[in-house]
Amino acid sequence: MDDKKKQATVLRKELENHNHQYYVLDNPVVSDYEFDSLYQKLLQLELDNPSLVDKYSPTQRVGAEPLAAFSSVDHLSPMLSLGNVFNSEQFADFYKRAKQTINASNIDFFGEPKLDGLAISLVYEDGNLVRAVTRGNGKKGEDVTHNARTIKSIPLTLTALSPPSLLEVRGEIYIEKAQFQALNQRQKAGDKKTFVNSRNAAAGALRQLDPKVAASRPLTICCYGISRIENHASPATQKDSLQLLKSFGFRVSEDTVLLKDEKECVLYFEELAAKRQSLAYDIDGVVFKVNRISDQKLMGAVAKAPRWAVAFKFAAEEARTLVRAIDLQVGRTGVLTPVARLQPVFVGGATVTNATLHNFEEVARKDIRVGDTVIVRRAGDVIPEVVKVLFELRPPDALRYEMPNELPDIALEQLIKKVIHFVSKKALDIDGLGDKLIAQLVKQKYVVGFSDLFHLKKERLLLLERLGSKSADKILSAITSSKRTTFRRLIYGIGIPGVGEETAARLTDAFDSIEKMQSGTIEQFEKIPDIGTVVSQSILDWFSKAENIEELTQLLSAGLVIEKSYDDERIINFVCVITGSFDSMTRSAIAQNLNEIGIRTSNTVSKSVDFLVCGDSPGSKLEKANELGIKVIYQGELIRLLDEKTISKKAIRAFFEGK
């Protein structure tokens, strides 16, 4: 058996090496026949000796059973999106901000093609692939490990002799142009539906429950970053990161370059744009990253994007089509948006049938009419929009668009969407009030404003379809419980256009009462981090409308209580790092609790960190914290603090400052 075990080990290493040469380096050293012979030899050896089967064997890539459903898992580090710029002036602004933050006259940037695929996070423990996760919302994503294992350019085991104990790698799953064309030819030959673009084909494959589907598509990966590495030397630059990834057996782009100044960055962008069509893969722009990792950490990130990187997007593709109709669409907060219904046209890698017209002022300014021939583009290659009207092709009977005088159905839909948002989990969190039930309440005129929810009686609820006595009692109990809420939840729930969960949190950090927020000026709003002019004006406009102030007044009169609770007592100036394992809470749960009181969490111990939350087996982070003189809080005292739901801001601050 020992001889057979050694034989299996040798065959696995040989096959993985050939996989690496073929799928990662594009440099096959054996013929397909020779590779297949080795593969069959290993497969037969494992079939004859089941005890030799190893889940990291090349024969086990497609061995998993189909899943019943996807599971959602936490990212070890937030998987942020990139901010975009669309011209050299915007890039110059980004470059200037980077220089000011780092306080340098010049910065080295690392340029990389922005592949048009699907972002993926790969986690390795002791050199073995244990998890592959989609981006999701940046904090959580879908576990697609069963599909990622079928992609032969993803190593199941790292090639390093001494791999890190933990490695989190970020990359892009995609299909090369030639492979995509061949895939569609096979689809057509099999009388199956062809794919609109390679990105859809890749994303669809990765989100299949059965790994055989992913295995049947020519997926590959290009890795572009390391978000976490433990018990191994960390790279000092982005360039070093890619070299390290390459040494571990990952495929990285060969079209990257180190750039010394802004001029070199723009030239690199222009060069890639010029040869975009001749590349083997689809790209939709160029990514520029500050090269030094220490500078990246200094610059930090906003809620959803790093400050040290930007995607310089190519000009969106444009196409000509006809406007068939102009309809109205209701957004999640009840805002009406005019939408152009278009004659289908292929642009930016997708067939476009609708395009946003943004608002009624935009329709009037561009003078868009039904029957017009228009130029459309996919802004940022994502959202279709009408660029301009070709007036010379306008039919003589085309009438100027006018908003309908009566909008009974639209008004109802607006109110339904507003109430659905108001009761949602991140707003007032009223359990049991589903979309269909809210639609009934609005259509029966039992609810014409948010405050009406707090005046609902059981007798009225029982008049609704499919609602029994017990369900009515549960809903009324949930409504009563929701009367005690936080300022942040209320501001998010009332649906100010442009104010999402993060913005609501920042607003309520800056203004601690409705009265102060109502009296706020556009200058005050603009000073709040990540709130720009457009959103500031939207907030100002919302509070300037008498009907909105009346609605807030009615809510308070109905018994809504804005608590100065643990959730709302936010401390803005602390940064902490969490390390080790914890008995009663997960690290992500601790981070969430700390975030809710305004304490920011970081993955790296540095001088900017205020304290370290320490569990069992903390590792090198505790050593570094001690070296830097950073305060250490052990799990017992932290858990006791977090259990005190009514603890005051003063007490929390005293706790941390007294450490």
Distance CA 36, CA 330 (A): 57
Distance CA 133, CA 155 (A): 15
Q: Which of 313, 332, 353 is the last residue of a domain?
A: 313
Count of domains forming the chain: 6
- Mean pLDDT over 218-237 rounds to 95
- Mean pLDDT over 382-388 rounds to 81
| Same domain assignment for residues 98 and 159 | yes
Q: What pTM does this model have?
A: 0.54
| Same domain assignment for residues 204 and 326 | no
For residue 570, the model assigns a pLDDT of 46
- For 314-344, what is each residue's pLDDT tens digit? 877 788 999 999 988 766 656 677 889 999 9
List of residues 6+ apart from 53 with CB closer than 8 A: 46, 59, 60
Q: HSE (CB half, 13 Å, CA atoms) of 4? A: 14
Instruction: Answer yes or no: 114 catalytic.
Output: yes
Sort 95 into a burial class: Cβ within 10 Å, 0-12 / 13-18 / 19+: buried
Identify the weakest region by mean pLDDT among 42-56, 407-421, 431-445, 566-580.
Answer: 566-580
Q: Is the pLDDT of residue 389 over 50?
A: yes
Distance CA 98, CA 298 (A): 10
For residue 584, the model assigns a pLDDT of 62
Closest CA to 223 of 272, 155, 177: 155
Q: Which of 327, 360, 393 is the last residue of a domain?
A: 393
Let me know how long the chain is.
Answer: 659
- For 54-93, what is each residue's pLDDT tens digit? 777 777 765 555 566 678 888 999 888 888 888 899 999 9
Give the E-state strand segments of 551-658 in sequence order: 561-562, 575-579, 600-602, 611-614, 631-634
| Same domain assignment for residues 285 and 139 | yes
For residue 24, the model assigns a pLDDT of 60
Q: What is the DSSP string of 422-443?
A: HTSTTTT--TT--HHHHHHHHH
List of residues 6+ apart from 448 with CB closer than 8 A: 415, 442
- For 508-549, what is each residue's pLDDT tens digit? 888 888 888 988 888 888 888 768 788 888 898 888 887 788
Residue 538's CATH number:
1.10.150.20
In a domain, 400, yes or no: no
Q: Is the pLDDT of residue 450 over 50?
A: yes
401, 326 contact by CB (below 8 A)? yes
Q: Radius of gyration (Cα) for the chain, nearest Å?
A: 28
Closest CA to 525 of 515, 517, 516, 536: 536
In a domain, 399, yes or no: no
| Same domain assignment for residues 371 and 342 | yes
| Same domain assignment for residues 452 and 545 | no
Distance CA 306, CA 309 (A): 6
For residue 382, the model assigns a pLDDT of 59
For residue 646, the model assigns a pLDDT of 42
| Same domain assignment for residues 274 and 175 | yes
Residue that is written with structure tokens 């092709």 in the block: 393
For residue 119, the model assigns a pLDDT of 92
- Mean pLDDT over 367-382 rounds to 81
| Same domain assignment for residues 100 and 239 | yes
Distance CA 63, CA 69 (A): 17
Supply angle C-alpha 35, 41, 43, rounded to 5. 100
For residue 349, the model assigns a pLDDT of 67
Q: Is the pLDDT of residue 644 over 80?
A: no
In a domain, 77, yes or no: no
Q: In this structure, are strands 109-115 and 257-259 parallel, antiparallel, or unpaired?
A: antiparallel
In a domain, 403, yes or no: no
Residue 30's CATH number:
1.10.287.610
The pLDDT confidence band at residue 25, using thresholds 50, 70 and 90, is low
Q: CB atoms < 10 A from the CB of 647, how many? A: 17
| Same domain assignment for residues 301 and 358 | no
In a domain, 548, yes or no: yes
Q: Is the pLDDT of residue 636 over 80?
A: no
Supply angle C-alpha 79, 83, 89, rounded to 5. 160
In a domain, 291, yes or no: yes
59-73, 224-238, 390-404, range with greatest mean pLDDT: 224-238
In a domain, 74, yes or no: no
For residue 373, the model assigns a pLDDT of 94
| Same domain assignment for residues 231 and 148 | yes
Q: How far apart are the first and last CA of the chain?
A: 59
Q: Which of 263, 292, 313 is the last residue of a domain?
A: 313
**Active-site entry in 114, 152, 289, 621:** 114
For residue 651, the model assigns a pLDDT of 56
Q: Is the pLDDT of residue 289 over 90?
A: yes
Identify the weakest region by mean pLDDT among 251-255, 256-260, 471-475, 506-510.
Answer: 506-510
Higher pLDDT, 268 or 62: 268
Identify the weakest region by mean pLDDT among 38-47, 58-67, 584-593, 649-658.
Answer: 649-658
Q: Is the pLDDT of residue 13 over 60?
A: yes
Distance CA 460, CA 467 (A): 10
- Mean pLDDT over 335-364 rounds to 83
| Dihedral angle over CA of 333, 338, 343, 345, nearest 10 | -60
Q: CB atoms < 10 A from the CB of 615, how many? A: 18
List of residues 6+ apart from 247 with CB closer than 8 A: 159, 160
Distance CA 17, CA 58 (A): 11
Residue 233's CATH number:
3.30.470.30
Distance CA 357, CA 340 (A): 7
% of the chain at pLDDT higher than 90: 29
| Same domain assignment for residues 647 and 526 | no
Average pLDDT, the chain: 83
Distance CA 4, CA 44 (A): 11
The pLDDT confidence band at residue 34, using thresholds 50, 70 and 90, is confident
Distance CA 354, CA 342 (A): 5
Q: Exposed e or buried b for every residue in 545-554, given b needs 16+ CB within 10 A? A: eeebeeebeb
In a domain, 445, yes or no: yes
| Same domain assignment for residues 147 and 52 | no
294-298, 622-626, 640-644, range with greatest mean pLDDT: 294-298
- Mean pLDDT over 597-611 rounds to 76
User: What's the domain range around 40?
Assistant: 2-60
For residue 50, the model assigns a pLDDT of 78
| Same domain assignment for residues 323 and 362 | yes
322, 395 contact by CB (below 8 A)? no
Q: Is the pLDDT of residue 52 over 90?
A: no
Supply angle C-alpha 191, 197, 200, rounded to 5. 90
For residue 221, the model assigns a pLDDT of 96
Q: Is the pLDDT of residue 568 over 50?
A: no
- Mean pLDDT over 479-505 rounds to 88
Higher pLDDT, 623 or 404: 623
For residue 659, the model assigns a pLDDT of 47
Closest CA to 120 of 110, 135, 140, 109: 135
Residue 582's CATH number:
3.40.50.10190
